[in-house]
């Protein structure tokens, strides 16, 4: 289980970097769905023994993060008729370099955090790296849909960090986090729809054209 968890966490980092390096929104969504599936496996791999709590959390994570949210974003892409992120604020190669720097920084910070010993030592640095890479996607992309993907990756980093305390966090709180994400993306979808309807574009910088 220990080596399997390490492999899954390394694949999470690779999915982060893959999203940073792609121009196609559909590829971003597939990367996000794959990451959601990986996150769903972690409660089972990190639990000292299988329990109803771990299985329920795993199933809920897969349903929300690997199925429902990617489906919603794919629907938004079809409705908005947008396929690529053409002109990001930071280029794709530079973004991947920033992502690699974020991973190195995450490992450096994690080794200095005054945290209790966790069962899987890669969990904290990978959670920090995912959080930072999500922030990079959120702040360096112009398309509103890509920014939603960045927000979800950032939230995945918070979710990973929460797994360090999964035995002490009540089940209802964890479900509440998943519900908050779903509601947040639903609201973002409404905003994306109205941006596209008003401006025939999903470039978030066009929001400066809004007037009363």
Q: What is the pLDDT of residues 111-169, one digit of tens each?
A: 887 766 667 788 889 999 999 999 998 888 887 778 888 888 988 888 888 887 766 65
Domain ranges across the chain:
2-209
Contacts by 30-33, CB closer than 8 A, 24 or more apart:
30/70, 32/65, 32/69, 32/70, 32/73, 32/149, 32/152, 32/153, 33/65, 33/66, 33/67, 33/70
Secondary structure letter of residue 164 according to DSSP? G
Tokens of 54: 């771990």
Secondary structure letter of residue 125 according to DSSP? H
Could you give the CA distance from residue 25 to residue 14 in angstroms, rounded to a whole number? 17
Tokens of 73: 């974003």
Q: What is the largest CA-CA distance in the chain?
A: 57
Residue 202: which of 183, 186, 189 has the closest Cα? 189
Could you give the CA distance from residue 8 to residue 17 in angstroms, rounded to a whole number? 14
Confidence (pLDDT) at 209: 54
Q: How confident is the model at residue 35 (pLDDT cuts 50, 70, 90)?
A: very high
Alpha helices, H only, the chain? 2-20, 25-46, 52-61, 69-80, 92-110, 123-140, 144-162, 171-199
51: left (phi over 0), alpha (psi -120 to 50) or beta: beta
Whether the model pTM is above 0.75? yes
CB atoms within 10 A of CB 165: 11
Neighbouring residues of 111: CB distance < 8 A, sequence distance ≥ 6: 125
Could you give the CA distance from residue 165 to residue 118 in angstroms, rounded to a whole number? 9
What pLDDT digit, counting tens, does each position of 158-198 carry? 888 888 776 665 555 566 566 666 666 666 666 666 566 55
């Amino acid at each position: 289980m220990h080596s399997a968890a390490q492999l899954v966490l390394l694949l999470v980092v690779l999915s982060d970097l893959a999203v940073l390096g792609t121009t196609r929104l559909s590829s971003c969504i597939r990367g996000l769905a794959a990451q959601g599936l990986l996150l769903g496996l972690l409660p089972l791999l990190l639990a000292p023994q299988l329990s109803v709590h771990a299985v329920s959390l795993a199933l809920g994570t897969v349903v929300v993060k690997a199925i429902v949210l990617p489906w919603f974003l794919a629907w938004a892409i079809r409705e908005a008729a947008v396929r690529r992120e053409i002109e990001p604020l930071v280029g794709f190669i530079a973004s991947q370099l920033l992502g690699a720097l974020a991973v190195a920084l995450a490992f450096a910070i994690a080794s200095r955090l005054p945290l209790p010993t966790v069962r899987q030592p890669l969990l904290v640095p990978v959670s920090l790296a995912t959080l930072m890479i999500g922030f990079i996607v959120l702040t360096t992309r112009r398309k509103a849909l890509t920014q939603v993907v960045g927000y979800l990756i950032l939230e995945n980093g918070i979710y990973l960090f929460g797994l360090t305390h999964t035995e002490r966090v009540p089940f209802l709180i964890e479900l509440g986090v998943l519900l908050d994400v779903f509601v947040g993306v639903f609201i973002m979808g409404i905003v994306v729809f109205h941006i596209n309807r008003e401006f025939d574009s999903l470039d978030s910088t066009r929001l400066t054209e809004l007037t009363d």
